[in-house]
């Protein structure tokens, strides 16, 4: 495996247990990288990218997942700059950089002059989590979705993604891939929704990744015609209860700093802020 004077090298299956131990130092913030390591055993083909590590002697002290998402793991600002060269090699295949704000800022300072300019920079996104029962009653009409719900659920997923990211997931021939992703989440029991009497999705959310420690929620959406009614509060309370019962003991998510209604809803449910993340989108 490649090694440099900075003691940075590519990780592989033999490094899996040490990498999981590193991620477990903050298992909620590191849930994505932890999850990907568990399901792929750090095999590059399964990862859809590479996993790099920085070592102090023989001890792994920092890591970086580099695929469609570039995600630092337990990095200081000094650690992450050591991953600049392998990161630059992936400039055309990385869609997002996401991680704790000081770490992402340090990485961007190291690579920004040589990297494609992001189409959007979200610098201080509150990272929220809850590891107990929600503070408000759960909406009893929110449930895990089934394959029979796909035709109604998929348009809501597309609408949420487009609104949040600014680009439709169906662009550039992505429809089949995105539809398969929605089907996969349904099959895993990671998709939750409430439907109205006309069969429309009026609230939905999904689990993006999960480990024995935590599950990260994404794709929270309320139909535009029903916003302002408090559906997100009861809906997220239901998601928290269902996820903690069936998937993982801690539920996390991150939210845009400017999204005051969403932040207020999560606070009412009982989520608390633990750190600030940054997301750079390409």
Confidence of residue 5 (pLDDT cuts 50, 70, 90): very low
CB burial of 131-152 (b: ≥16 within 10 Å; e: otherwise) equals: beebebebbeebebbeeebeee
Q: What confidence tens digit (pLDDT) does each residue in 223-259 have?
A: 999 999 999 999 999 999 999 999 999 999 999 999 9
The reported pLDDT for the residue numbered 45 is 75
Residue 134 lies in a domain: no
Q: Are residues 147 and 265 in the same domain?
A: yes
* Total structural domains within the chain: 2
pLDDT digits (tens, 9 = 90+) for 41-98: 998 776 678 999 999 999 999 999 998 999 999 999 999 999 998 888 877 788 999 9
Q: Give residue-wise pLDDT tens across range 38-52.
A: 999 998 776 678 999
Per residue in 161-202, pLDDT (tens digit) is 999 998 999 998 899 999 999 999 999 999 999 999 999 999
For residue 176, give the CATH number of its domain: 3.40.630.30
* Residue 1 belongs to a domain: no
Average pLDDT estimate for 141-148? 98
Section 28-46 average pLDDT: 92
Tell whether the model's pLDDT for residue 214 goes beyond 80. Answer: yes
pLDDT above 90 coverage of the chain, percent: 88
Query: Higher model confidence: residue 92 or residue 146?
Result: 146
Whole-angstrom distance, CA of residue 115 vs CA of residue 282: 10
Examine the domain organization and report whether 187 and 227 are in the same domain.
yes
83, 117, 151: which is the final residue of a domain? 117
Mean confidence (pLDDT) of the chain: 94
Measured in degrees and rounded to the nearest 5, phi and psi for residue 230 equal 85, 10
pLDDT the model gives residue 77? 93
- 113 C-beta neighbours (distance < 10 Å), count: 7
For residue 2, being part of any structural domain is answered with: no
If asked whether residues 59 and 162 sit together in one domain, one would say: no
- Tell whether 77 and 155 lie within a shared domain: no
Residue 125 forms part of a structural domain: no
53 occurs within a structural domain: yes
Residue 280 domain-assigned (yes or no): no
Tens digit of each residue's pLDDT (9 = 90 or more) over 200-212:
999 999 999 999 9
Residue 264 and residue 151 share a domain: yes
pLDDT surpassing 90 at residue 32: yes
- Whether residue 157 is contained in a domain is answered as yes
Considering the domain architecture, whether residues 18 and 68 belong to the same structural domain is answered as yes
Q: Within 13 A of 108's CA, how many CA atoms are on the CB side?
A: 21
Q: Which domain holds residue 14?
A: 8-117
Considering the domain boundaries, does residue 281 fall inside one?
no
Q: Examine the pLDDT at 127 and tell me if it is beyond 90.
A: yes
The pTM for the full model equals: 0.93
Q: What is the distance, to the nearest Å, from the Cα of residue 191 to the centroid of all Cα atoms in its chain?
A: 15
Q: How confident is the model at residue 6 (pLDDT cuts 50, 70, 90)?
A: low
Same domain, yes or no, for 13 and 91? yes
Together in a domain, 52 and 86 = yes
Same domain, 209 and 110: no
Specify the pLDDT at position 13.
Answer: 95
Query: Do 22 and 109 sit in the same domain of this protein?
Result: yes
Q: Exposed e or buried b for every residue in 49-78, given b needs 16+ CB within 10 A?
A: bbbbbbbeeeebebbbbbbebbbbbbbbbe
22, 93: one domain: yes
Q: What angle do CA 207, 208, 209 make, to 5 degrees?
A: 100
Where does a domain end: 69, 100, 117?
117
Q: pLDDT-based confidence at 1, cuts 50/70/90? A: very low
Of 99, 117, 135, which residue constitutes the final position of a domain? 117
Per-residue pLDDT at 48: 76
* Shared domain check, 194 and 234: yes
């Amino acid at each position: 495996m490649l090694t440099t004077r900075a003691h940075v090298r590519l990780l592989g299956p033999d490094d899996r247990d040490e990498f999981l131990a590193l991620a477990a130092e903050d298992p909620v913030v590191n849930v994505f990288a932890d999850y990907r390591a568990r399901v792929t055993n750090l095999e590059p083909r399964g990862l859809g990218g590479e996993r790099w590590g920085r070592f102090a002697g023989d001890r792994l002290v920092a890591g970086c997942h580099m695929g469609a998402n570039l995600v630092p793991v337990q990095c200081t600002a000094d650690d992450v700059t050591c991953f600049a060269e392998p990161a630059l090699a992936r400039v055309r295949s990385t869609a997002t950089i996401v991680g704790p704000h000081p770490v992402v800022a340090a990485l961007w300072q190291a690579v920004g002059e040589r990297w494609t300019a992001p189409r959007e920079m979200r610098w201080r996104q509150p990272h929220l989590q809850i590891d107990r029962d929600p503070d408000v009653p759960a909406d009893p009409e929110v449930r895990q979705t089934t394959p029979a719900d796909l035709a109604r659920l998929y348009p809501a997923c597309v609408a949420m993604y487009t609104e949040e990211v600014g680009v439709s997931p169906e662009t550039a021939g992505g429809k089949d891939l995105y539809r398969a992703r929605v089907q996969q989440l349904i099959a895993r029991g990671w998709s939750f929704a409430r439907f109205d009497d006309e069969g429309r999705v009026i609230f939905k959310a999904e689990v993006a990744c999960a480990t024995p420690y935590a599950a990260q929620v994404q794709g929270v959406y309320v139909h535009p015609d029903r916003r302002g009614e408090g559906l997100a509060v009861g809906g997220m309370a239901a998601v928290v209860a269902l996820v903690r019962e069936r998937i993982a003991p801690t539920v996390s998510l991150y939210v845009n700093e400017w999204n005051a209604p969403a932040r207020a809803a999560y606070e009412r449910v009982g989520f608390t802020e633990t750190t600030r993340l940054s997301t750079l989108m390409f």
